[in-house]
């Protein structure tokens, strides 16, 4: 197995963040509104890609690189679309990380599992560009990344029951009421995860905000498609490099809340 170069966890400006995150069980009306907002494309980070100028074109820095955008797979200036489609159509196991940040987790995990195909989503374009430079420099060949919002991309690109593991590590809780629509976890998002995970597939979630973890558990365990959280399932992840946020939490003795759910 190739040796993964050590990752540089340089000093960060992370703060404790807001710990007054609160939530309540959804009323039928609130759940219905969540689906209506989803259908209307509300909450997508960066807005609806279909409304962006030249959305059918890849940025120059992404051409012929392991990078894709959902609406630009047919950009004939590069071979991105053809190679990505071929990888996705293979029978290789697939793991997806949503919100990879600096990419430390994926940059460590992909070389550990060369037989597996990996996809990473991160809506911050600068972070995506830096991640692309790192994975190319390291010569990692089983990892694709995108700066699309996964809520727009995955319904259009990933076949149902294709994903073996979803990793969602330290997502932004969007604690302000006016930003709630941007929050990743909602009833339609859990529907999406259930559709794309294969039976026996794993949802791997972490946060340093206890209340967000409780919300995720409420939403996921409320679906018949998922088994209840089982800490023993952490063994399926095996050895891993922590994300930059998790590394910060460990250095500052902050608790991390991990959840593992299996798709029935």
C-alpha to C-alpha distance for 224 and 191, rounded to whole angstroms: 11
Measured CA to CA in angstroms, residue 79 lies from 12, 37, 42, 66, 83 at distances of 36, 35, 32, 10, 6
CB contact at 8 A, 101 and 243: yes
Q: How far is CA 195 from CA 9, 154, 156, 198, in A?
A: 35, 10, 12, 8
Based on the residue annotation, tell me whether 191 is a catalytic residue of this protein.
Answer: no
CA distance 48 to 192: 18
Of the candidates 168, 166, 173, the residue with the CA atom closest to the CA atom of residue 215 = 173
Q: Which of 75, 148, 172, 230 is catalytic?
A: 172
Owner of token pair 């991309």: 153
- Give the CA distances from residue 235 to residues 107, 245, 260, in Å, rounded to whole numbers and listed in that order: 20, 21, 10
Residues recognised as catalytic: 172
């Amino acid at each position: 197995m190739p040796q993964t170069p050590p990752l540089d966890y340089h000093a960060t400006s992370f703060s404790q963040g807001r710990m007054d995150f609160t939530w309540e069980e959804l009323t039928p009306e609130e759940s219905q509104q969540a689906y209506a907002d989803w259908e209307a494309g509300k909450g997508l980070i960066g807005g609806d890609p279909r409304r962006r100028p030249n959305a059918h074109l890849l940025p120059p820095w992404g051409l012929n690189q392991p990078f894709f955008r959902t609406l630009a797979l047919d950009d004939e200036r590069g071979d991105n679309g053809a190679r990505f489609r071929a990888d996705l159509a293979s029978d290789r196991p697939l793991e997806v990380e949503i919100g990879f940040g600096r990419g430390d987790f994926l940059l460590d995990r992909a070389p550990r599992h060369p037989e597996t195909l990996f996809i990473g989503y991160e809506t911050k374009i600068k972070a995506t560009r830096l991640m692309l430079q790192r994975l190319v420099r390291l010569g990692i060949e089983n990892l694709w990344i995108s700066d699309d919002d996964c809520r727009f991309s995955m319904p259009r690109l990933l076949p149902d029951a294709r994903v073996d593991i979803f990793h969602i590590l330290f997502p932004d809780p969007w604690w302000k009421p006016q930003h709630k629509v941007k929050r990743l976890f909602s009833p339609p998002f859990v529907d999406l995860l259930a559709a794309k995970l294969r039976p026996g597939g794993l949802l791997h979630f972490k946060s340093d905000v206890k209340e967000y973890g409780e919300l995720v558990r409420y939403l996921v365990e409320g679906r018949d498609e998922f088994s209840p959280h089982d800490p023993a399932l952490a063994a399926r992840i095996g050895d891993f490099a922590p994300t930059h946020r998790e590394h910060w939490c460990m250095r500052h003795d902050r608790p991390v809340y991990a959840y593992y759910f299996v798709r029935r």
